[in-house]
Structure 1
């Protein structure tokens, strides 16, 4: 199984998704957990993972607060957890790349990215009739966007959807 484990990191909580390439990037596991818990999720899942994209912060010339630097520390800890336990190379995905790959506009917001994913893969669904993204909420959309963007930018010549 070829799986993508993607993370939308935060300073306290981070969202993740595990996308199955063979099922057309279907999210097979996902969630938003405290960062300490994310280290455990990485440890549990890393043996199955082939690709590990993680959203990286970027400077656009504006001042940032402590939470951005705390997020950077966690990005480093997640990368360390992956590289210590596997031969998987973490890949940085930047938010600007997500916006351009999924929405073709730097002006895209979270709602635009969510809608672009729904337009591409299908509806969220309901409990009675679960769709492609049933159960996905909030930052998990961003984690999925990281994985899909990584795929689009790096793997589309190797796999056919």
Structure 2
């Protein structure tokens, strides 16, 4: 029986990637779904913690998409708060530095770091097949980044 479930979110303007992870085993659930559905996951699942990738400004102008993402991040935190679920934020730079030892790491570097840690020397990036699913079976696009949020948070915060 699991004792601790982390929901990690890579927020977006209309859709967000999420991972439900116990901190040890293969993620229990993950997806790229609408932001309204993310709110439902927070509302309906038994969670101990919600962790959201924090949006930070690095001095460059930003567009409406960034503000929409920030808005949804706040909604996710509010939903967790309403459900008395512990929540936190972790910036992308901290995730990259932790997993790749460089704040200049790209998404592909973050993905490779996760593969090296959870599916080292496993062909096909640890995805496996439908018949024999691997640790990362079904992972695509921003789901990798949501998992990186969970892993970095657990490692750094000890959650």
Q: Runs of 5+ in structure 1 lacking a partner?
A: 157-161
Per-residue displacement from partner, 1:52-104 (whole Å, max 9, x unpaired)? 11101001101100000011110111111111112x22111100011011111
Q: What is the rounded CA distance, in whole Å, between the counterparts of 1:8 and 1:89 in structure 2?
A: 17
Contact 1:118 1:124 in 2 (8 A): no
Mapped pair 1:105 → 2:102: yes
Structure 1 position 128, deviation (Å): 2.1
Mapped pair 1:34 → 2:37: no
Of 2-11 and 119-128, deviating more is 119-128
Q: What is the rounded CA distance, in whole Å, between the counterparts of 1:25 and 1:89 in structure 2?
A: 21
Per-residue displacement from partner, 1:109-146 (whole Å, max 9, x unpaired)? 11111111011001121112211110111010010000
Q: What is the rounded CA distance, in whole Å, between the counterparts of 1:38 and 1:49 in structure 2?
A: 13
Q: Runs of 5+ in structure 2 lacking a partner?
A: 120-125
Contact 1:11 1:67 in 2 (8 A): yes
- Structure 1 moving runs of 4+ over 6 Å: none
> Which of 118, 130, 150 is the matching residue for 2:115?
118
> Which of 58, 61, 77 is the matching residue for 2:59?
61
Number of equivalenced pairs: 151
Q: What is the rounded CA distance, in whole Å, between the counterparts of 2:88 and 2:83 in structure 1?
A: 16
Q: What is the rounded CA distance, in whole Å, between the counterparts of 2:25 and 2:113 in structure 1?
A: 14
Contact 1:7 1:14 in 2 (8 A): yes
Structural RMSD (CA): 1.1
Contact 1:15 1:140 in 2 (8 A): yes
Q: What is the rounded CA distance, in whole Å, between the counterparts of 1:69 and 1:109 in structure 2?
A: 23
Q: TM-score, normalised by structure 2?
A: 0.91
Structure 1 position 25, deviation (Å): 4.6
